[in-house]
Amino acid sequence: GVVYNYDQEGVHRAGSGWEQCICIPLVQPDMGELLQCWDSLLEEFSLEEAWLPHRYKEQQHNCFTFALAFVNRVRQGRGREPLSKAQFTESFLLPHTREASRYLTLHQQLADRDVYIVPLAEQEQDS
């Protein structure tokens, strides 16, 4: 997909260069209609004056602000209350970063021990 990010140069759209990022699902599987219009909502949102380069402030108006503001715009459109920075962090970011941290720690431990991982045979997977 395309990643939108916001920095001192404004909004950027990138189709590559984010392969090492953590993907955090924000839309539930039963929200198909929202998925259909997500890209156009995000494109429209990214063109707003609030995201012009000169408005960027490293601590107060940054990429995190951009992501949270977009999520809250979508929530508002669905009649839901906006999330605070703390709620957004606790509900969406921390669970996924903790999981990624555990995975990376395990990966590093296995790499340090020269472990070779062999896929299970199909019949062993079923039992």
Q: Looking at the domain assignment, is residue 70 inside a domain?
A: yes
Find, among 82, 58, 60, the residue nearest to 9 by Cα.
Answer: 58
Backbone angles phi, psi at 66, to 5 degrees: -60, -50
Identify the residue with better confidence: 14 or 127.
14
Mean pLDDT of the chain: 89
pLDDT of residue 124: 58
Q: Looking at the domain assignment, is residue 101 inside a domain?
A: yes
What's the domain range around 53?
3-110
Q: Looking at the domain assignment, is residue 122 inside a domain?
A: no
Mean pLDDT along residues 37-54: 94
Per cent of the chain over pLDDT 70 is 95
Q: Looking at the domain assignment, is residue 67 inside a domain?
A: yes
Q: What confidence tens digit (pLDDT) does each residue in 77-114 have? A: 889 999 999 999 999 899 999 999 998 898 888 888 87
Q: Looking at the domain assignment, is residue 14 inside a domain?
A: yes
- Number of structural domains (the chain) is 1
For the chain, helix, strand, coil in percent to 5 are: 55, 10, 35
The owner of tokens 């199909």 is 122
Q: Looking at the domain assignment, is residue 69 inside a domain?
A: yes
Q: Looking at the domain assignment, is residue 68 inside a domain?
A: yes
Q: Looking at the domain assignment, is residue 66 inside a domain?
A: yes
* Cβ neighbours, 10 Å, residue 50: 13
